[in-house]
Chain A
Amino acid sequence: MESVVRLQRQLVDYTASLFQEGYLDEQFIQLRQLQDESNPQFAVEVVSLFFEEAERLLDELAKGLSQENTDFKRLDAQVHQLKGSSSSIGAQRVGRICIAFRNYCEMQNVEGCLNSLQQVRQEYSSVKSKLETLFKMERQLSAAGGSVSSP
C-alpha cells in the first residue's frame, strides 16, 4: 500500500509539472474525464492516435518542405491538422508553434517554415516522451493496485 501511495504521489506531481511547464493544458484533463469503466483506456488510445497522426504529418511536412516548389497551401492544411490534434489532447506547446508555423506558411517563408518544423519536432518529441512516461507511471500504478482516475 505504501508503494501505491508513493506512486500516486509521483504521478500527481509529475502531471502537475507537465501542466506547470506548459506541455499540457486543461484539454488533457477533460480528455481524462472521458475515461470511465466502459472505456478505461480512452486517453491512452487518443494520445497514441495523436502520436501516429503527428508523426505522419511531420514526415509529410518535412517531405513537402524539401521539395523544390513547396505547396504552401497543402503545408498550411497539414499544420492546421497538427494544430487541431495537438490542441485536442491539450499539447499546447505544439499547438502554439503551429500557429507561428501557419503564419510562415501564409507568408510563404521557407526558412521560417523549416525553423518551425524543427521546433515542432522538438516539442513533439518532448511531449511524447513526457506523455509516455506519464502513461507508464499510470500503468505501474494500476498494476500496483491503485486507481488512476481518483487520486
Chain B
Amino acid sequence: MGIKMQSQHQPVALRFHEQTGGKRKYTFIQAKRAWLPKFLLLWIMLMMLFSGSIYNGMDADNKVRRREVLGSLCEQRARMLQDQFSVSVNHVHALAILVSTFHFYRNPSAIDQETFAEYTARTAFERPLLNGVAYAQRVVDSERENFERQHGWVIKTMEREPSPVRDEYGPVIFAQETVSYLKSLDMMSGEEDRENILRARATGKAVLTSPFRLLGSHHLGVVLTFPVYKSKLSPEPTMNERIEATAGYVGGSFDVESLVENLLGQLAGNQAILVHVYDITNSTNQLIMYGNQYEEGDNSLVHKSKLDFGDPYRKHQMICRYHQKAPTSWTALTTAFLFFVIGLLVGYILYGAAIHIVKVEDDFHEMQELKVRAEAADVAKSQFLATVSHEIRTPMNGILGMLGLLLDTELSSTQRDYAQTAQACGKALIALINEVLDRAKIEAGKLELEAVPFDLRSILDDVLSLFSEKSRHKGLELAVFVSDKVPDIVMGDPGRFRQIITNLVGNSVKFTERGHIFVKVHLAENITATVNGKSEAYLNGGSEDVAHMAGGYQSKTLSGCDAADERNCWDNFKHLIADEEFCFDASSKKMTTIQVSEQVTLMVCVEDTGIGIPFSAQDSIFMPFVQADSSTSRNYGGTGIGLSISKCLVELMGGQINFISRPQVGSTFSFTAGFGTYKKNSTSDVKKHNVEDLPSSFRGLKAIVVDGKPVRAAVTRYHLKRLGIVAKVANNINKATALCGKNGSLTSGMFQEDIILVEKDSWISGEDGSFNIWQLDWKQNGHTVKLPKLILLATNISNVEFDKAKAAGFADTVIMKPLRASMVAACLQQVLGVGKKRQQGKDMSNGSTYLRGLICGKKILVVDDNVVNRRVAAGALKKFGADVKCVDSGKAALEMLQLPHSFDACFMDIQMPEMDGFEATRRIRLMEREENEQANGESNEGNASKREWHLPILAMTADVIHATYDECLKCGMDGYVSKPFEEENLYQEVAKFFESKPISDS
C-alpha cells in the first residue's frame, strides 16, 4: 500500500581524502634526501683532509727533529775536523818557527835531516791529520849550483827529473820519514805547490792547496805550506819584504780522505750519515775533498757546515746527509688512519640514520595514505551497501508480491513448497537488507539513540511472544525474568533495545533444539554483589518461600539442561530472588532507592542450551557476516550480521556485550546497557500506564505455584507478581497439598488460595493418584471456602495429555508458555471471570495483533494531497482499528491540529503542494512549543498536572536514504514509515511512542 513512489537517488559521494603533496610536512632530512650521498662524500673527503693534515703535522715534527739531529751531527763533525786541522796547522807553524830558529839563526844549523826526521817523527802525534812534513829551501837559480854542490844532489822536479833551469827552486831538504821520497824534489815544480808557496810567502800565513791526488797514497789531500823567513820581519812587512825574507817553506800534506775517515770513525752515528767535504774556493767548481761523490744518499735533507782551516783564501764546507731516506712514520700513519676510519664510521652512521629516517618517514606517509584510502573505501563500502540495499528492496517487493499471488493460485504440493521456499528466502533477504542498512547506518555514525521512557518488561514480553510459536514448536522453554529492582519505566531507545533482545533470542531459538532459553534482566550492580556473595545476609531475611524452594531440586537451571554460564544456575539465582523478596517486602524502600540514582545499568542475559559456539570461532563471533563455521549457515541459515549490529548498539548504549559458550552445552550472551531513570512528573502517569497495560483486577489474589524447577517457578512468580498476585512456591504437589491443607483448614483466611498453577512436568511426574487424593482432601477441608482454580502450565501439550489434564481436574485452563503477564492476565480473566472482557489470548503470536493492540482506538490524522494515497493509508490504519481522519494538505492539517486536539498521532506525506510535510511539521512543533511554554509558565505557579504537547508525527516515504531521514528528524518528526506499509516497520515505529508515551485519554 505504498502511496507514492518517491525514489530520489542521492548521488553517492565518496569522500576520498586526496592528499596533496603540499599538505605534507617534510623534515629537513626529507627535503634534502637527494643530497645525502653527496653529504656523505663530502664528509669522507673532509675526513681524508683532516687525517692527512694530522699525518702531515706529525711528519713535519719528525722531519724537524731529523734536521736538528743532522745539523748537530754535522756541526759536531765539522768543529772536530776544524779543531784537529787547526791543531795540525798550529803545529806546522811551530815547526816553521823551529826551522827558522834552529836552522837559520844558528850557524851552523842545529838541524839536519836526521834531527828533523826524528823530531818530526816523535812529534807526529801532534799532527794527526798530516801524513808528514817537509822543509823546502828557497833556492834562486844563481845559488843552484852552489846549493847542489853543498848537498850533493841535483834538484829534481816532481817527475824526478833533474830540474830545468828556473828562476827559483824550492827543493826539499828535510823531510819526515813518512814523506822521505820528497827529498830533493823541487816543490816549485808542482803546480799546486808552487802556487801555495808563492801565496804563503806573500801572506806569511799557512795556506792550503786545493785538493788533489797526493803523490804517495793517491788519496785526495791538500798541502799546507808555511813560509820560513830568514830574518825578523818588520811589524808591518810589505809583500816584497816578505818575499825577500823568505828562506824556505815548511809543508805538510793532509790526507784528508783517510784522516777524515779516521776521525769520523771515532764518532757515534757514523753509520747514519754521509759526510762530504768540499773546497768551495771556486764556487762554480767545487772540489771534493772527502766522500764518494757518487754515493747515494737522502738528497732531500742536507746540512752544510762551514769549515775554517785557517786559510782565508780557501773556503771549505762540510755537507752531511742521511744515508737513508727518512723512515715512514708509522705512528703518524696509524693515528691518521685511525682518525680517518673513525670519521668514516661516524659519517656512515649519520648517513645510515638519515637514510633510515627518510625511509621511515616515507613508510609513514605511505601508511597514512593507505589508511586514508582504506577509510575512504570503508565509507564507500557502507554507502554502496546502503544504496544497493535500497535498490534491491524495490524489486524484492515485486518478487514477494508475485510469490504471494502465486501461492494464491492452485498449486501442487511440490509447487507450493517451492513457492513457499522462495517466499521465505525473499523475506529473509529483505530482513538481511534491512540489517545491512542498519549496520551501514551505524558505521556511518548516522544512528542516534533516542532517550524516551519505555516499559522494559512489556518489550521483553513482546519479544518473547514473537518467538513463542517457534519455541513451542521446538518444545523449548522460553522465559523472561526481570528483577524487581529494575525500574518499571526507564529512559532509553526501546526500538534498539528490542532489536538487541530480538536478535539474541532469535539466535538462541535458532540454535537450540532442546532445553530452554532464558532472558534475565538485573541491575548490573546487583549481579556483582551476588557473585561476590555479599547478599548472603539476605538469605536469612528472605521469606519462607525461599526455604521451601531450596529443598529437593535436582536441577539448577530453567529446564534442567546444563547451561554454559554457571552464574545463571539456581545457586546464584536464589540469592537474587531472596534479595528481591527482601526488597519487595519493603517496597516503599525500593521506590526511594531507585529514584535516587539518575542512571541505571542493566545487565541482560540470554541463556540457551543450544549447540554453543566452537572455541575456535568465539573470537570472531561479533564480526559482521561471520558465523561459527560454514556449516552453521548451511544448517541454520542466517548471515551472522545480527550479532555485530547488536554489539554496535550495545556499545552505543554505553555497555558491553560478551558471552560464555560451551559447545554442545549452550551459550549465554550477556550485555550491559545504561538507561536513564524516568523522572516522574506525576506518579499518576505511570500508574495509569500500568493499569492500562495490565489489568489490576487481580491485585490481592493469592496463588500457589507447583513446580519442580526453582528457576522456572521464580519466573512464574515474577509474572504473577506483575499482576499483583501473591504467589507461593511448592516444589511438588504433596508439598502444595500440605501448604493448602494447612492454610485451608487450620488458619483459613490467612492465606486463601485463589489459583493453583501446576507445571506440566510436576503434574506428570507426580502420580495422578496423589493429585486426585489431594483434590478430594481439599474438597473435604475447604467446604467453607471457594475452590481454587487449577491451572496447568505447559510448553507444549498433546491432545491426549490435554484430555488427561481435563480428566485430572484442570478443567479451568491450560496456559501455554512462554508466559507473559498480559497473556496470564487474559487467561485468568477467562478463568476467574473478572475484569473487562478483552480480545486477548486468541492468538498473540503474530505482530499484527500487537499492531492492532497498539493502534486500536487511537485517533490518527493522515495528511496527503493525493486522494487515492490518502484512502489507502487510512484503510491500512483503520484495519488495525485506528480512528482515522484525513486531510489533503498541510494547511488543513494545521487547522485540525490547533490545540487542544485529541489526535494521538499524525502520518504526514512529505511531498505536497503549497506546504510540504517538513514545513507543516515545523509549524505544528512551533505551535506546540508556544503552548507548552505557556503551560509551563502556568504550572510553575499552580499544579503540575499539565502535560507536554508533543504529537507523534511520522513521515510517509518510500525513501530510506539517510538524508531524508535526517531531514525528517530535523524538522521535528518522530520517525518515518516506509511505503508500502510493512507491518513490521509500522509496528516498530508506532511502538516507539505509543508504548513509551502512554496517552492517558485513549
Contact = CB atoms under 8 A, between A and B. Distances in A.
Contacts of B644: none
Chain A residues touching B, majority SS: helix
Contacts of A34: 1, 872, 875-876, 879
A26 B400 contact: yes
B404 A26 contact: yes
Interface stretch (B78-86, B708-716, B860-868, B945-953): B860-868
B619 interface: no
B405 interface: yes
B397 interface: yes
Interface in A1-28: 9, 12-13, 15-16, 19, 25-27
B1 A27 contact: yes
Given A30-B980, A31-B872, A83 B867 contact: no
B4 A25 contact: no
Interface string B387-417: 0000000000110111011101110000000
Given A49-B871, A84-B868, A25 B401 contact: yes
A108 interface: no
Contact of A19 (B397, B405, B872, B878): B405
B907 to A, nearest CB: 14
Interface string B875-914: 1101100000000000000000000000000000001010
A60 interface: no
Contacts of B865: 81
Interface string A56-90: 00000000000000000000010011011101110
Contacts of A39: 875, 878-879
A6 to B, nearest CB: 12
B4 A83 contact: yes
A49 B879 CA distance: 19
Interface size range of chain A in the complex: 20 to 34
A4 B868 CA distance: 32
A77 to B, nearest CB: 6
Given A27-B1, A87-B5, A46 B980 contact: no
A39 B252 CA distance: 169
Interface size range of chain B in the complex: 20 to 34
Contacts of B866: 53, 81, 84-85, 88
B71 interface: no
Contacts of A89: 868, 872
Interface string A40-56: 00100110011001000
Contacts of B980: 26-27, 30
Interface in B899-954: 911, 913
Nearest to A56: B867
A77 B409 CA distance: 39
A36 interface: yes
Contact of A88 (B397, B409, B869, B879): B869
A60 to B, nearest CB: 14
Contacts of A45: 871
B401 A26 contact: yes
A85 B868 contact: yes
Given A42-B875, A46-B875, A88-B869, A30 B3 contact: no
A15 to B, nearest CB: 7
A46 B868 contact: yes
Contact of B4 (A15, A31, A77, A84): A84
Contacts of A46: 868, 871-872, 875
A9 B398 CA distance: 23
A16 B409 contact: yes
- Highest count of chain A CB atoms <10 Å: which of B401, B871, B911, B980: B871
Contacts of A85: 866-869
Interface in A108-135: none
A31 B397 CA distance: 14
Contact of A27 (B2, B878, B879): B2
A12 to B, nearest CB: 5
Interface of B: 1-5, 397-398, 400-402, 404-406, 408-410, 865-869, 871-872, 875-876, 878-879, 911, 913, 980-981
Going nearest first, the 9 A-B pairs with the smallest beta carbon separation are A26-B401, A84-B4, A85-B868, A87-B5, A84-B866, A30-B1, A34-B875, A50-B868, A88-B869
12 contacts: A26-B398, A26-B400, A31-B872, A39-B878, A49-B868, A53-B867, A77-B913, A80-B4, A88-B4, A88-B866, A89-B872, A151-B408
Given A84-B4, A87-B2, 14 more contacts: A12-B408, A12-B410, A13-B409, A19-B401, A25-B398, A25-B401, A30-B2, A30-B981, A39-B878, A49-B867, A85-B868, A87-B5, A88-B872, A151-B408
